[in-house]
Amino acid sequence: MRGSFEWFVRERSMKILWYLLEEVRVIRERDPAIKSKYEALLYPGLRAVVCYRIAHGLYKRKHYFLARWISQRVAVRTGIEIHPGAKIGRGLFIDHGSGVVIGETAIIGNNVTLYQGVTLGGTGKEKGKRHPTLKDNVMVSAGAKILGSFTVGEGSKIGAGSVVLKAVPANSTVVGVPGRIVKIGEKKIHRNELDHGNLPDPVFNDIKELRDENVFLRERVEKLEGIVSKGNSNEIK
């Protein structure tokens, strides 16, 4: 019995060490601000993800109270709340992290990046699967909210502050409130492509089109008024 328990503790310790090394590698790979591997140990995202792995293992074994106890303590310390029932693949990178919330039935693929203030939540109307599924290599920018049980396709980008309420195809870019798909490309987004400040701005584009059209119409009206004032109304087209 004692040997079996020692084996269990040793196995858990090895898995925790593996999780830790994996998260350190992910942080060094994706955060240009980091200068040494030891700095990664100070990142709240690392603590949150490693502790989630432990809590998730307990959750699967139906130790629900202990799993939630771990996740809530981590939430208080880091500002990152990951429900132990969520299913998360390898290589999750949570940058800064404060205000991140991941719901119980959320599913996250491999090499996903979340910035501060991101919510993977429900709408309060569903039962069962009520949180979103993020496929591999998805990037969700600061303050974005993805609410409901639907899928964000592989390689997609969600712009800062967006509110996404419906499914997103693979390799798409979504911005706005409510979120609108403004780009669908065939090019895959690799996990180290973290340019979330250079996304399309459909509102600006719409305003620019209206402004250009307004300038054209004003020039046209001025031209017509000039023709009328000269008594050449027959030249009006």
**Residue 49 vs residue 235, higher pLDDT:** 49
2 pLDDT higher than 60: no
Residue 166, C-beta contacts closer than 8 angstroms, at least 6 positions apart: 148, 150, 179
pLDDT in tens, 194-229: 555 555 666 666 677 788 788 878 878 877 777 777
Residue 74 and residue 101: Cα distance in Å, rounded? Answer: 12
pLDDT score recorded for residue 5: 44
pLDDT in tens, 96-118: 889 999 999 999 999 999 999 99
**Residue 191 vs residue 34, higher pLDDT:** 34
Confidence of residue 39 (pLDDT cuts 50, 70, 90): confident
